[in-house]
Structure 1
């Protein structure tokens, strides 16, 4: 499989784009739409699926580091989907 051809999972290069001092967006590439949002939450970093509607941002845990939350997002994408 060529670089960047993955249908799911962590891309070869991903981007954590700061929104402000407490919020980051996770993207596959700089020009891509956001896939996840990470916010500073208590003593950790809360990972949620990105949506423009706050109530549709599904929670995926709280992590001890920004990079750990990003890695968790791509691992969630690697999981087989249940039908």
Structure 2
């Protein structure tokens, strides 16, 4: 996986743990816990504000996917 892909995944895992009522991505948490990668540089780069931005983006994406599936039950995702 490319480096730039770790940021959104890391944010999903981190904010799923901090705010499970907003985002509850257990798979992201599992992946981040089991991968051999130093995420400290991502946390430093993203900081709180960028990280929260990723949380909002992830939540909006989850809502959009849920609505898509509800409106198209036979859709392939």
Establish whether TM, by shorter chain, passes 0.5.
no
Higher relative contact order (CA 8 A, sep 6+): 2
Q: TM-score scaled to structure 2, two decimals?
A: 0.29
Which protein is richer in strand relative to its size?
1
Q: Give 1 or 2 for the bigger CA radius of gyration.
A: 2
Which protein is richer in helix relative to its size?
2
